[in-house]
Amino acid sequence: MGTKSHRRRSRLTRKKRRLEVPNEIKVQPTSRPTTGLVYDVRLAYHAPAVSGQPHPEESLRAYHIFQKLVSTGCLSRCVRVSCREATVDELLLVHTKRHVTEITDSAALPEEKLCALAKQHDSLYLNSMSSHCARLACGGVIELCRTVYQGKIKNGMAIVRPPGHHAEPDEKAFLTDPNVLYFSIHRYDDAKFYPYETAAAHYVAGEGEGKGRTINVPWPCAGMGDFDYLHAFNKLLMPIAYEFDPEIVIVASGFNAASGDLMGGCFVTPACYAHLTHKLKTLAGGKVVLSLEGGYNYDIISESALACVRVLIGEDPPQLQPGIPSPICVETVEKVAQIHSVYWKSLRELNIKSSFADGLKKRVEQRQKLSAERSKKLIDEFGLLKLPIAGSNVPEFFHEEVFQTDRTLTSSVLVVFIHDMNHKQATSAQESGFFDIANRILGNILVNNWELIDVNIPYLDDFQDEDRRIVDRLISYIWDRYIKTTTQKKIVFVATGYGAVSVGHLITLIDDVQKYSMFMALIPGDELPMVPPEKSDWFSKNTYIMVDPTIAKQHHSSCFGRLVSNGRSATSTLPETSMNFP
């Protein structure tokens, strides 16, 4: 996984044309292969133009990784490879002349214009040293790759910044090139996860002579773990890579997928990163280069990078606990394999069929049981009415999940409450830990005589891609049919779990949401709701995203809204906070 779009990208290249670069590195001969390490303190000069401006990508990321390698003795087992500025000719191999000139000229801009230029680009900040640091980072990676390719060292890692935002330009650069195999595993969520581009979809496979050389494995949801990534490697990357037979492997090493990095929302352990690196070492005669990209929790990226470097210098990866890939992983890998079996013989006989039928019946039965109990409670005790969903492209089952109060003509406030049962093992509504919380919120709304639209999302053990799409379609339908027509009311959203994420999708796709909504109280589950940068100012000013204290400390971007924590658990805080809107 790499930066922002949460990808771990591998570029496997075959030699067809030679690039001459200056300043050949001289590495002292040794009795055994060595691992190269690129790190330069000058890369810390890249920082926000406005001092104190928070941003998840900062110099301490690289510093913590370097210090971890020092403290564990791994640095002494590596050979240092120096950074140098990439030349203009090297940069123009990928970037346009206009872009290179713009970034180069930024060094002379005053602070105000630097900030304005940064806003034109995605997730970027600039200062007068940024262009110099970017050239150093590029040059350092080029030098490491060349030294490995020439056989002077066996492999290496570049701890460089700023990272190459984003993964999509990497893909585009080689889309038509038959000599580069591009492979990426990333969060996608049907293009509803940042940066919201369909270029990351599974059906994007390259163009022209590069057909079949671009391979995207797009996870449809958060929560993917070790055995999901190993499954994608074992069933897709490794068979294809052996058939491709590369001369060098270059990895854009993003650690957003690491367990504990909430921006990615996945659960990949350092041990798994070690195993993935070990697998890549079996390619190209072991010529593997890792270059730091994403990952924004200092401790987590340090441990993950350390695990990779230990494998590069010759240690065996640690043993993993037994496990299997998730059904959604198997389904995703199958979709990708079906697309690429046309191009790769190694996939044509591969049997990776998914098997959801056995679990589907149980999921549906439990969903229906919880829904029936919840519906009875809303009708009998709260006096709510079912909201008609006729004519929508939402399955009939979800038609029974939406309720409303009968106060459409008397209330000046409309509260849209979107929630789920939030408990994997709950066999009844009373066993769901969120049930009492939801009742308290409903009680507060009714006491204030506000209008209410209640949307229930019954818990699913494996929240499948299509289920998420259904929820998104349902919320969009309710907005179009019932909410945006009540423009004289004050509209408030209260949402939990995937409902909170779906509200983020609604804001991303429909501009009117900003126009008519006055406040949002959201409590996410395994992933945080996000909006694109152009809507982030409004989102951060008009939302309370209630999270636990550890999460609030890790995320500073306004794209995540205003993260609020008072030291208590987020769920226990929801009833009181959701009522305290302007």
**Backbone angles phi and psi of 463, in degrees to 5:** -75, 95
Burial class (CB in 10 A: 0-12, 13-18, 19+), 365: exposed
Asked if residues 123 and 536 have their Cβ atoms less than 8 Å apart, the reply is no
Helix (H, G, I), strand (E, B) or coil at 103: helix
C-alpha separations of 394 from 192, 361, 378 in Å: 18, 19, 21
- Measure the N-to-C terminal CA separation of the chain; round to a whole number of Å: 40
Residues 6 or more apart whose CB falls under 8 angstroms from that of 560 comprise 528, 529, 530, 545
Residue 34, strand partner residues: none
CB 416 within 8 A of CB 493: yes
512-517 LR contacts (CB < 8 Å, sep 24+): 512/479, 512/484, 513/479, 514/538, 516/483, 516/484, 516/487, 516/491, 517/491, 517/492, 517/493, 517/542
Which of 166, 202, 275, 340 does the annotation list as catalytic? 166
166 upstream amide cis, omega within 30 of 0: yes
Beta strands (DSSP E) in 50-125 are: 78-80
Neighbours of 276 (CB within 10 A): 25
Return d(Cα 355, Cα 360) in angstroms, integer: 9
Helix (H) / strand (E) containing 451: strand 451-457
Cα of 42 vs its chain's centroid, Å: 28
Q: How far apart are CA 287 and CA 244, in angstroms?
A: 15
Q: Which tokens is 64 given? A: 């913590």
C-alpha distance from residue 561 to each of 58, 522, 526, 538, 545 (Å): 20, 10, 16, 8, 6
Is 166 a catalytic site residue? yes
Give me the amino acid identity at 131. Answer: S
Q: How far apart are CA 288 and CA 207, in angstroms?
A: 26
Q: How many CB atoms lie within 10 A of CB 223?
A: 16
Nearest 10 degrees: Cα torsion 272, 277, 280, 284: -170
- Phi and psi dihedrals of 460, rounded to 5? -120, 130
What lies within 8 Å, CB to CB, of 334 at 6+ separation is 352, 353, 354
Residues with catalytic function: 166
